[in-house]
A and B are shown apart, each in its own frame.
Chain A
Amino acid sequence: MDANELLIWARGPGFDIALTIFVVGMLLRLLEVLALGKKPDLSAPRGSGPEGAVRTLIARTLPRKTVFDKEPLRIINGYVLHIGFFIVLFLYGPHIAFFESFLGFGWPALPSGIVDAISAITILSLIAALVFRMNNNVMRFLSTPGDYIAWAVTLLPVLTGYLAYNHLLLPYTLMLALHLLSVELLLVVAPFTKLTHMFSFAMARWYQGYQAGRRGVES
């Protein structure tokens, strides 16, 4: 199998398989959560649960001062990493074209040069995240192999994309094929690692916010 054939496989059947595993796996993980259900709260409410849930869903995106003051770099890096990743994923022209082929509609792209710079920043931010994880005693203590696997499968698509765009290290076709394969690896691995947080964070915030809203407490 040469680079062209690899690319064709990665674009076609490879991607379909990976996407299927991602969708089915994620649905399974989320249904596993929801299936457990929740007993109704019989205490007299002081406020609205749904209002609290929506508030927490949005508000928790920002850090509280008390923790931000202690760990500003880790928290800022978290934003850079997430925002960078989303810009590269959703605002790069060829990615939008790819989504358009599925969805039937597209959206405006950022100039490639800017996305290129942002992907470089995202790579640096991911490396910083690893350095934090290995050097902070709490993070090191909490870390499991799953954390490092999740880190690696997140880095690879950004890194291979950057290398492919800049024609570095390997011939373009091969690097592009590796880029797609790394995306597929991410899709396959995501449902079975902490990367489930891409969806479950909303449930977690909802549940905590709902209870807080009912009780009329901050969340």
Chain B
Amino acid sequence: MSAPSVEKGIQFIKGQIDAPVASFFSACVHCGLCAEACLFFTETGDPKYTPINKVEPMRRIWESEFTLFGKLKSMLGMGEKVDEATFAEWETLVYDGCTLCGRCSLVCPVGNDISGMIRKVREGFAAAGHAPEGLIGASTRAVEIGSPMGVKLPAVKAQIKHLQQDTGLDAPLDVKGAEYMVLLSSMEIMNFPEYLEAIARIMKQAGKTWTIASKAFEATNSGIQIGVSDIAKVLVSRIVDAAEELGVKTVISPECGHAFTAIRWDGANLIGRPYNFEVKHILEVLDEFVEQGLIKTEGKEDAKVTYHDPCQIARKGGVVKQPRNLLNKIANNFVEMEDGGEMNWCCGGGGGVSANERADEVKLTAFNKKKSQLQALGVDTLVTACANCRLTLEEGLEENEMDMPIVGLTEMLAEYLVEDKKEEA
């Protein structure tokens, strides 16, 4: 890739402007309602965080390049410019002040997909050399080492060995013709090994063949977050190649929000062809297993629990009813958070914000939304299905001296499997 420059940034943004984007800018009436949906605005009160303002550089480029009136304005020297200063000024809004959560897109009265545009405009910011260090580091590690957190295959193998020793269960590597190929996120390998154990138990009870690909165990995709399609493509291709080499039927996206977006929705478009396999989120698979009677649960959690919908899984991924079906199976006292489901409030750490140290302060301010939601509910346990949400929530709770366990839904379900109860008895 050539060196980043303002010209390149503008070119990249131009390349992202299609009919939907143009229709969105033509339809915006500056009503400002998107601000009310954005936790960066509601928690800071600063109007610069109004979602549509975050794509102002893109609007300027659209107007001056793709509208006759805008071209005339530019010729007369009246157009608004996009230069180095513009990129510098908007960089923090585009990366630090947006988690790509997508609430704004759902409240816009004219139907503008604003968060979709913020995802697109990041391509230009990265090309102009205005992406945050933290995300550049994560992306570089993802491409060079194979994981944004620098996790290598030996770490996965070590975890599998632990699993075998502790539980007698197995997580088979590189099994050709397995029905499912399970992906992990770095955080699940490093911080939440419970996930892998839960998968091993569930798959065993369901009687399904599954595997982890040694060439593509990592599901996360920093390229999607930083906005570099070339990187995103490299990372997705690893998964596609491995899945097709092993001939699996279904690839399972782990408890990670953006990984699901990357592999489920963006992947085929990045590599330029449809897949030869299906992609499902782990919660979709679990719900199917329960529906088909392949796994049975026994007993229920008595603690008051609520569910935090990861934005990319619920709002943008359409996996909303599954976690509720599952929770109602295993919890006696499951309560919904206000706006739960499609309109849930983001944890504040999505869209690459948690990998961007510069955004730490605004991320914690944004967390105040989740804090007040949790305080209003007064729950004992918080369940979620995204390792990144989980880490962001843990950090936020700790910072606010709130003591509350956070568990992944997959591992919680695994605890209530009938078979395990029998084995323990």
Residues of A whose CB lies within 8 Å of any CB of B are 28-29, 32-39, 41-44, 46, 56-57, 60, 63-64, 66-67, 70-71, 74-75, 78, 136-144, 147, 192, 194, 196-197, 200-201, 203-209, 211, 215-219
CB distance from A55 to the nearest CB of B (A): 11
Name 11 interchain pairs, CB-CB below 8 A, sorted by A.
A32-B66, A64-B343, A142-B50, A142-B52, A147-B29, A147-B30, A204-B108, A204-B113, A208-B105, A208-B111, A215-B265
Is the Cβ of B50 less than 8 Å from the Cβ of A44? no
Q: CB within 8 Å of A: which of B215-267?
A: 264-267
Task: Flag if A78 contacts B106 (CB, 8 Å).
Answer: no
- Closest CB pairs A-B (n = 10): A205-B111, A141-B47, A207-B20, A138-B32, A203-B23, A200-B26, A218-B342, A42-B268, A217-B318, A204-B27
* CA gap between A211 and B267 in the complex, in Å: 15
User: Chain A interface: which of B86-94, B173-181, B201-209, B272-280?
Assistant: B272-280
Chain A residues near B26: list those with CB within 8 A: 29, 33, 196-197, 200, 203-204
With an 8 A cutoff between CB atoms, is B24 at the interface? yes
Most chain B CB inside 10 Å of its own CB: which residue of A78, A192, A201, A209: A201
15 further A-B pairs in the complex, CB-CB below 8 A; given A42-B268, A60-B108: A29-B67, A32-B68, A34-B19, A43-B264, A70-B36, A78-B109, A138-B35, A142-B50, A144-B30, A197-B28, A197-B29, A197-B110, A200-B26, A208-B116, A218-B315
> Binding site of B, secondary structure by majority: helix, strand, loop or mixed?
helix
Q: How far is the CA of A57 from the CA of B103 in the complex (A)?
A: 18
Q: Point out residues on B near A: beta carbons under 8 Å.
A: 17-24, 26-33, 35-37, 41, 45, 47-48, 50, 52-53, 66-69, 103, 105-113, 116, 264-269, 272-275, 278-279, 315-318, 320, 339, 341-343
Closest CB-CB distance, A54 to chain B, in whole Å?
12
Contact assessment for B113 and A44 in the assembled complex, using a CB-CB cutoff below 8 Å? no
A139, B23: Cα distance in complex, Å: 21
A143 proximity list for chain B (CB < 8 A): 30
Bound CA span A215–B269, Å: 14
Given the complex of chains A and B, what is the CA–CA distance between A78 and B52 in angstroms? 19
Q: Does A36 lie within 8 Å of B339, measured CB to CB?
A: no
